[in-house]
């Protein structure tokens, strides 16, 4: 394993990796030029090792701006077997260009102080060889010395063949761009390979730390602690399936860089050096913001279990945030996805974590107020929280300001098992009635000082659960039981529809503090239905007359307030009844005068009923002036209607004569017009979830098809021809009524 931090690579390696160091060299041709360094170092492939090294020079010389080098013996180009040589592979001057530079070799020490320490990061089999140290003083160009009589032999063991990368290739997105502050999961997989349960994976950032090693940012090896500066990285993939996915939570500009994956499973050890993830963090704001607009918040908060607390938070010298500004409180404990869960926000497009529905952002961001309210605190709420603000292009996470919440007095959940709450979970009471709901805490007696609280689990304007009943006071709700006997009975004196909801009981007595969160009272307040109506968006009352013009598109809406839901009967005059549940929406396109009349909607449940009746008067459009070519004449609409009536009577006479002739001649009578062809048929569009039988049980009048298909329109033909005041409507008039019934 690689060292993660703190004491340096060489200490961690000495404890964990057991490198082999032999025969410390401490001599040279000149007694003034001495070096102390290990003779041999052995390191497993892929790991990091630091080789301590000290050297001296002529006492009369003072090193200033000195440059140190480690050189490797070579018998290949640019050298040869016949003429081997040493080539520089690393320089203490990082900006210096070397033709044979090894990017994983580093000189972390300062040569001016005689430090020649060498760090070999991500050791490769190619690093095996012989090395010596060389010093050159930048001020005195004549001071050059090579400590070639003291050779360091480096051996890298366990190197796998590169065929592993070919046989088990790594697939990963190589370029990733993510907005600052967000959470991203980078998919990664190793093909054609399954690993043992003890397999270990490591993600490293290819930017050497102060020790010269690549820091481990994520691993499933619990014995290795990732770098303190990169605690937001998680290896979230399951290596047994070859999944090496990486999750980066709350990314910031320091996370920009290149990352490499390494796998260890028994003798199999391999760093995928040809496959990197290049991460780019976009939209990063200057850190000067936190100095200009600092966050002021209480950093340590202690709250009693079950209580409600508001933590004041403000952005000092706040800028004018827009109405679309969004604030986010996150808990710095990664969830199953490896991301910090959002526990409170004013962003309606984001759903806070299911486990943290009692935490709310109650401050007004337009005033720079980011206050946080924790309602009904429980032990799962304990932890560290961070605030983030987003407003247009501005995005900033206050990573140096946290709220640490401690929840005290948390009782063991075994309490609820030892002393269960016995209460009816569903209670229904008519509006205005009095009801007493029995409640009992089993196997427990309490002191006279015990306090009980019934709370409604609907946060009030403060985002806290309001206490509706306690033995401290009695209002419309009353805790009428005797707690000393474990009696927690609740009395409601005058039930109101606003009382409906879910209730929770809490007990406090000496060291006992417990909210029965797994046992709720669900209260339903029932009432008779009431109906309100709108005609094309305009409200109307019972017995109102509504005037419309023929040809208008009309929408009638009946809204029914009822608990339980009412059965709704829709009726036009006395012609037809239809029953449904919920809100009724009636659409009449291009209304005709034949659709004038009385309309009724009846809603009823077991507690009562309500009816709304109104009259529709359809008038013909006013007189029109039709220009006649060649003269200034006016023909009234009345004259046109009289002419149309004459034509209609002529057509009817012709039909009658044709029937008489057909009867005399013995020819069969033409087939009767089908019901589908009748212009005065009425069609009702019925939502499939709301279909019920007609009130008068004329089931043949309704022909529902595809009743199980969602979003399917269902039509039923209803013949109004027998009751229509005009059995022969104008041919151009089609009387069509669409009644869409929506479930409440």
| Partner residues linked to 571 by β-bridges | 577, 600
Residues 483-523 have pLDDT tens digits of: 999 999 999 888 888 889 999 999 888 778 888 988 999 99
- pLDDT at position 665 is 54
pLDDT for residue 473: 54
Nearest to 451 by CA among 505, 374, 522: 505
Question: What is residue 287's predicted lDDT score, i.e. its pLDDT?
Answer: 63
| Band (139; pLDDT cuts 50, 70, 90) | low
**Average pLDDT, whole number, for the chain?**
77
Whether residue 618 is predicted with pLDDT greater than 80 in this model: the reply is yes
Structure confidence at residue 674 (pLDDT): 38
Q: Which residues contact 304 (CB under 8 A, 6 or more apart)?
A: 377, 407, 408, 409, 513
Q: Out of 126-130, 506-510, 594-598, 667-671, which region has the weakest mean confidence (pLDDT)?
A: 667-671
d(CA 224, CA 625): 94
Q: Which tens digits make up the pLDDT trace of 41-82?
A: 999 888 889 999 999 998 888 888 899 999 999 888 778 888
Looking at residue 672, what is its pLDDT? 45
> Average pLDDT in the 708-713 region?
33
Strand partners, 304: 408
Query: Which residues 6+ apart lie within 8 Å of 393 measured at CB?
Result: 283
**Adjacent-strand bridge partners of 430:** 526
| Largest Cα span, the chain | 146
Tell me the pLDDT tens digit for each residue of 545-561. 888 899 888 888 888 88
pLDDT at position 185 over 70:
yes
**Tell me, what's the pLDDT at 628?**
33
Cis peptide before 377 (omega within 30 of 0): no
Lowest-confidence segment of 155-159, 264-268, 315-319, 345-349 by average pLDDT: 315-319
Higher pLDDT, 742 or 126: 126
Does pTM top 0.75 for this prediction?
no
Number of continuous H segments (helices) and E segments (strands) in the chain: 5, 53
Are 307 and 377 spatial neighbours (Cβ–Cβ below 8 Å)?
A: yes
- The confidence band for 330, taking pLDDT boundaries of 50, 70 and 90, is very high
The average pLDDT across 441-458 equals 89
Task: Give pLDDT, residue 257.
Answer: 94
What is the mean pLDDT of the segment spanning 672-686? Answer: 38
% of the chain residues with pLDDT over 70: 74
Mean pLDDT of all residues in 575-586: 72
Q: Is 366 left (phi over 0), alpha (psi -120 to 50) or beta?
A: alpha
Residue 457 is predicted with a pLDDT of 87
- Residue bearing the bigger pLDDT, 470 or 311: 311
Q: Which residue has the higher pLDDT, 186 or 4?
A: 186
What per-residue confidence (pLDDT) applies to 576? Answer: 65
Confidence of residue 716 (pLDDT cuts 50, 70, 90): very low
Q: Helix, strand, coil shares of the chain as percentages rounded to 5? A: 10, 40, 50
708-729 in b/e form (b: 16+ CB < 10 A) is eeeeeebebebebeeeeeeeeb
Reported in sequence order, the residue ranges of 411-540 that DSSP labels E, i.e. its strands, are: 421-423, 426-430, 435-437, 439-441, 451-456, 467-470, 477-479, 490-492, 501-509, 512-515, 521-535, 538-540
What is d(CA 142, CA 135) in angstroms, rounded to the nearest whole number? 11
Asked whether residue 221 carries a pLDDT value surpassing 70, the answer given is yes
Assess whether pLDDT exceeds 50 at residue 709. no
pLDDT at 677 over 60: no
Per DSSP bridges, beta strands 394-408 and 383-391 are antiparallel
How many other CB atoms are found less than 10 A from the CB of residue 583? 16
pLDDT of residue 246 exceeding 50: yes
Distance, CA of 633 to CA of 629 (rounded, Å): 9
| Least trusted range by pLDDT, from 20-34, 155-169, 383-397 | 20-34
Q: Stretch 82-108: mean pLDDT, rounded?
A: 90
Q: Is the pLDDT of residue 694 over 70?
A: no
Say if residues 177 and 194 touch (Cβ distance below 8 Å): no
pLDDT of the residue at 697: 32
Examine the pLDDT at 651 and tell me if it is beyond 90: no
């Amino acid at each position: 394993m690689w060292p993660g931090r703190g004491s340096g690579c060489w200490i961690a390696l000495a404890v964990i990796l057991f490198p082999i160091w032999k025969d410390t060299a401490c001599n040279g041709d000149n007694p003034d030029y001495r070096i102390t360094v290990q003779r041999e170092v052995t390191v497993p492939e892929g790991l990091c090792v630091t080789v301590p090294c000290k050297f001296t020079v002529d006492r009369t010389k003072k090193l200033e701006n000195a440059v140190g080098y480690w050189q490797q013996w070579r018998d290949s180009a640019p050298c040869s077997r016949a003429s081997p040589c040493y080539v520089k592979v690393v320089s203490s001057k990082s900006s210096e260009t070397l033709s044979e530079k090894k990017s994983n070799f580093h000189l972390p020490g300062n040569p001016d102080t005689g430090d020649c320490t060498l760090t070999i990061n991500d050791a490769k089999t190619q690093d095996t060889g012989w090395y010596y140290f060389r010093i050159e003083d930048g001020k005195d160009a004549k001071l050059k010395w090579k400590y070639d009589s003291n050779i360091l032999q480096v051996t890298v063991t366990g190197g796998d063949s590169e065929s592993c990368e070919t046989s088990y290739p790594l697939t990963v997105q190589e370029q990733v761009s993510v907005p600052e502050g967000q959470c991203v999961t980078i998919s990664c997989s190793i093909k054609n390979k399954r690993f043992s349960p003890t397999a270990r994976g490591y993600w490293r950032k290819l930017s050497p730390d102060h020790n010269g090693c690549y820091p481990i940012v994520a691993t499933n090896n619990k014995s290795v602690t990732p770098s303190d500066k990169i605690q937001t990285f998680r290896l979230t993939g399951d290596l047994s399936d070859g999944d090496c996915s990486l999750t980066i939570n709350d990314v910031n500009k320091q996370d920009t860089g290149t990352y490499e994956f390494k796998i260890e499973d028994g003798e199999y050890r391999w760093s995928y050096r040809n496959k990197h993830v290049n991460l780019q963090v976009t939209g990063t704001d200057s850190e000067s913001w936190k100095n200009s607009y600092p966050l002021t918040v209480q950093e340590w908060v202690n709250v009693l279990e079950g209580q409600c607390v508001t933590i004041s938070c403000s952005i000092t010298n706040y800028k004018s945030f827009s109405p679309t500004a969004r604030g986010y409180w996150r808990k710095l404990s990664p969830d199953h996805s490896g991301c910090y869960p959002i526990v409170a926000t004013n962003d309606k497009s984001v759903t806070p974590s299911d486990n943290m529905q009692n935490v709310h952002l109650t401050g007004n961001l337009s005033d720079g107020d980011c206050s946080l309210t924790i309602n009904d605190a429980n032990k799962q709420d304990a932890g560290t929280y961070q605030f983030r603000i987003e407003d247009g292009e501005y995005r900033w996470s206050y990573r140096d300001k946290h709220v640490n919440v401690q929840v005290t007095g948390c009782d063991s959940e075994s309490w609820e098992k030892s002393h269960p709450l016995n209460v009816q979970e569903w209670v229904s009471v008519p509006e205005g009635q009095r009801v007493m709901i029995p409640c009992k805490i089993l196997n427990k007696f309490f002191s006279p000082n015990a306090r009980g609280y019934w709370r409604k689990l609907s946060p009030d304007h403060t985002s806290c659960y309001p206490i509706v009943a306690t033995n401290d006071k009695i209002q419309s709700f009353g805790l009428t039981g005797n707690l000393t006997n474990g009696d927690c009975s609740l009395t409601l004196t005058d039930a109101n529809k606003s009382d409906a909801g879910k209730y929770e009981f809490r007990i406090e007595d000496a060291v006992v503090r417990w909210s029965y969160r797994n046992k709720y009272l669900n209260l339903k307040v029932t009432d008779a239905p009431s109906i309100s109506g709108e005609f094309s968006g305009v409200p109307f009352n019972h017995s109102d007359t509504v005037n419309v013009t023929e040809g208008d598109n009309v929408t009638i809406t009946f809204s029914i307030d009822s608990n339980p839901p009412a059965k709704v009967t829709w009726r036009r005059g006395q012609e037809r009844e239809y029953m449904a549940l919920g809100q009724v929406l009636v659409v009449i396109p291009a209304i005709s005068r034949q659709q004038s009349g009385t309309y009724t909607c009846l809603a009823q449940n077991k507690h009562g009923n309500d009816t709304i009746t109104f009259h529709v008067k359809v008038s013909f459009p006013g007189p029109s002036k039709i220009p006649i070519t060649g003269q200034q004449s006016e023909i009234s609409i009345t004259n046109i209607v009289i002419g149309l009536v004459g034509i209609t009577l002529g057509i009817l006479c012709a039909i009658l004569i044709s029937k008489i002739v057909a009867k005399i001649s013995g020819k069969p009578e033409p087939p009767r017009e089908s019901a589908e062809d009748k212009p005065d048929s009425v069609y009702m569009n019925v939502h499939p979830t709301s279909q019920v039988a007609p009130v008068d049980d004329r089931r043949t009048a309704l022909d529902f098809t595809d009743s199980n298909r969602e979003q399917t329109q269902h039509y039923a033909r209803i013949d109004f021809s027998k009751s229509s005041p005009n059995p022969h409507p104008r041919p151009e008039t089609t009387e069509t009524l669409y009644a869409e019934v929506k479930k409440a």
